[in-house]
């Protein structure tokens, strides 16, 4: 079938919305009509590095409605509302023990541009077009492997969920999964973007007593207070960020969360950690950072780099949807919708800090 997709023909270039051909789903695959897809910094990383070969259709936070199901697919049917996440092999020791985020085949399945059989379902003028995360959901339709799908409640606006399969999972998932944040504890959250805001909301859900947001944008600090931060620190206007956190917490934080990837923020996160403090780095920056192990030793600090929250999406996404229904996870305060034709504007607005989480709506 002919579909519309945003095709990247040139590393570092602009995506072009064009007609491409989409093949039928194979036995283990499903055809999804995409309703909305979040814009994530990782899409830009792939655009700039060419890590997935071109031509490629980016977009890895799709949400939509199933139109067709392959013959071997179990548990899904036409009309189901689904959130798309990453692909996993479903057979390795990690996939079979609810740890698909460290699947043996995670890299090739999500960044080779191909489906499990090594081919792509999208072609243009007879040439294969790659997809990112096994979905390429900056498109009106997508054929995905069944491992990529999470069924969600039809009561929740499916367009709103077009940001949950990666960005919000990376943030809130880290709180519920990797850090497993406990009630009556303290956390500092460094840099406020979509990922961090979702972490902040999750920390509130977990009953954190002290939630400190560290950021420079006054509007975002204001929103952090509205969403559950108990303290905010504008690092641009604060001489001693670590000292401020110590004043608030006494011996330092139980948890720290950084999505900025910036050396200065990671330094603060480590130095402001208290005894047995745990620091989660979630930002996908490519550069090296420096740490001083000696400075971490006496408090026995653990530093972890986290992929997709280190939580099974089959657990996280339905749970997050439940919290949305209960009004505890108000992601609508972070999202702004854009038309498909305005995809590049959505990226620009995210980069310039005008929009926290852009979500692109597909034409009906
Ligand atoms: Zn696996
Ligand atoms: Zn992402």
What pLDDT, in 10s, does the model give residues 233-275? 999 999 999 999 999 999 999 999 999 999 999 999 999 999 9
Question: For position 284, what pLDDT does the model report?
Answer: 65
E strand map for the chain: 2-8, 15-22, 29-38, 56-57, 62-69, 81-84, 122-124, 127-131, 141-145, 149-151, 186-190, 210-215, 231-234, 253-258, 273-281, 302-305, 335-339, 357-361
Q: How many CB atoms lie within 10 A of CB 50?
A: 13
Ligand showing the shortest atom-to-Cα distance for residue 135: 2
- Share above pLDDT 70 across residues of the chain, in percent, rounded to a whole number: 99
Give me ligand 2 centre to Cα 307, in Å.
Answer: 10
The Å distance, Cα 15 to ligand 2 centre, comes to 17
pLDDT band at 113 (very low <50, low <70, confident <90, very high): very high
Provide the pLDDT for residue 295: 84
Average pLDDT, the chain: 96
Distance 158 CA to ligand 1 centre (A): 27
- 3-state SS, 133-180, equals CCCCCCECEEEEEHHHEEECCCCCCHHHHCCCCCHHHHHHHHHHCCCC
Q: What's the rounded mean pLDDT across residues 338-350?
A: 97
- What average pLDDT does range 139-155 have in this prediction? 97
Distance 133 CA to ligand 2 centre (A): 9
Q: State the pTM of this model.
A: 0.95
Distance between CA atoms of 253 and 233, rounded to whole angstroms? 14
pLDDT of residue 115: 97
Q: Ligand 1 centroid vs 138 CA: distance in angstroms? A: 25
Spacing, Cα 250 to ligand 2 middle (Å): 35
Ligand (nearest to CA of 46): 2
- Identify the three-state secondary structure at position 69: strand
For residue 37, give the ligand nearest its CA. Answer: 2
Q: Across residues 173-194, what is the average pLDDT?
A: 97
Q: Is the pLDDT of residue 283 over 90?
A: no
Classify each residue of 196-232 as buried b or exposed e, where b means 16 or more C-beta atoms within 10 Å of its C-beta.
Answer: bbbbbbbbbbbebebbbbbbebeebbebbeebbbbbb
> Is 286 a residue whose pLDDT tops 80?
no
């Amino acid at each position: 079938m002919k579909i519309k997709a945003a095709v990247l023909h040139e590393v570092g270039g602009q995506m072009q919305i064009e007609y491409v051909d989409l093949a039928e789903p194979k036995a283990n695959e499903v055809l999804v009509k995409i309703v909305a897809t979040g814009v994530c910094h990782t899409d830009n990383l792939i655009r700039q590095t060419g890590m997935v070969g071109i031509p490629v259709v980016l977009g890895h936070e799709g949400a939509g409605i199933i139109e067709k199901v392959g013959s071997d697919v179990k548990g899904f049917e036409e009309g189901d509302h689904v959130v798309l996440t990453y692909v996993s092999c479903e057979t390795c020791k990690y996939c079979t023990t609810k740890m698909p985020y460290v699947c043996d085949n995670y890299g090739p399945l999500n960044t080779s541009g191909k489906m499990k059989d090594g081919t792509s379902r999208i072609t243009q003028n007879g040439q294969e077009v790659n997809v990112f995360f096994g979905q390429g959901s900056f498109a009106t339709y997508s054929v995905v492997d069944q491992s990529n799908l999470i069924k969600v409640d039809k009561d929740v606006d499916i367009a709103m969920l077009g940001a949950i399969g990666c960005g919000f999972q990376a943030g809130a998932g880290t709180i519920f999964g990797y850090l497993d944040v406990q009630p009556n504890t303290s956390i500092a959250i460094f840099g406020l973007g979509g990922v961090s805001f979702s972490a902040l909301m999750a920390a509130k859900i977990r009953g954190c007593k002290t939630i400190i947001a560290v950021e420079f944008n006054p509007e975002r600090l204001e929103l952090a207070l509205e969403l559950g931060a108990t303290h905010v620190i504008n690092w641009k206007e604060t001489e001693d960020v670590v000292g401020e956190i110590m004043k608030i917490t006494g011996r330092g934080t139980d948890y720290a969360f950084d999505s900025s990837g910036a050396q200065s923020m990671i330094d603060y996160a480590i130095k402001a950690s208290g005894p047995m403090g745990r620091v989660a780095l979630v930002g996908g920056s490519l550069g090296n950072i420096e740490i001083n192990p000696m400075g971490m030793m006496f408090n026995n600090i653990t530093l972890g780099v986290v992929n997709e929250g280190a939580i099974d999406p089959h657990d996280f996404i339905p749970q997050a949807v439940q919290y949305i229904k209960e009004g505890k996870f108000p992601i609508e305060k972070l999202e702004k919708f854009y038309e498909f034709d305005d995809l590049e504007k959505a990226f620009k607005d995210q980069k310039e800090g005008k929009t926290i989480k852009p979500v692109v709506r597909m034409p009906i």
